[in-house]
Amino acid sequence: MFNLVRSLYHRIARAWIVLFSLLLTIVGLAAFSTLDTARPAGSPGAVALQLAFSKEAFTRIIAEWGPAGVRAYQRSTLGLDYLFPIAYALCLASSIAWLASRPGREPDSVVLALFGLPWVAAALDWIENTLHLILLGDVHHPSASLVLLASIAAAIKWGLIAFSVLVVLYLILRNIEARRAIDQ
C-alpha cells in the first residue's frame, strides 16, 4: 500500500496535472452553482443538508426544498457529485505532491500522509453521497443514525479539504521563501 501511495505521488507531482485538475474543479463548482438554482430561493443549500446532524434538521431542509428540489439534488449527486471528489482530490493531492517534491529525494511519511488527506476526503464524500441518496429514497422516514453518519462524514470531509488547502498555501509560501533565499 505504501509503495502504491508513493508511486501515485510521483506520477501526479506535475504542474500540468495540477492545472488540469484545478480546471476540472472549477468547472465542477460552476456546474454545482448552476444546478443549485433548482432549489427554491432562500432555502438552505446542499452544505446545510450535509451538516444537518439531526433527523429534524434534515427533514426541515427537505421540506423547504420540496419534491423538485429533492429531485434536483438527487440528479446533481448522481450526475456530478460522484465525479467531483476525484477532481478536487486530484487537484489538492497533485498540488501537495508537486509543491513538496524535491529532485532526487523521496517524500517523507509526513508529506505522504498530507498527500493522502484529499483522497480520504473524497472517500468520505462518496460515503456521504451514498447515505444521502439512501435517505432521500424515503424522505418521510429518514433514519436519524444515517443522517448523523452522513453529517459526520461531511464534517470530516470539509475539515480535510480545508486542512489540505492550508497545506497547499503553506507549501506555496515555503517555496516562495526558498526561491527568495536562493536569489539573495
Give pLDDT tens digits for 102-145: 888 899 999 999 999 999 999 999 999 999 999 999 999 999 99
**Element at 63 (helix H, strand E):** helix 55-79
Answer whether 0.85 is exceeded by the pTM. Answer: yes
Rounded to an integer, what distance in angstroms lies between the CA atom of residue 50 and that of residue 155? 8
92 pLDDT higher than 90: yes
Per domain, the residue ranges of the chain are: 2-183
pLDDT tens digits for 35-78? 877 788 889 999 999 999 999 999 999 999 999 899 989 988 88
Instruction: Name the average pLDDT for the chain.
Output: 94
Q: What is the pLDDT of residues 2-33, one digit of tens each?
A: 788 999 999 999 999 999 999 999 999 999 88
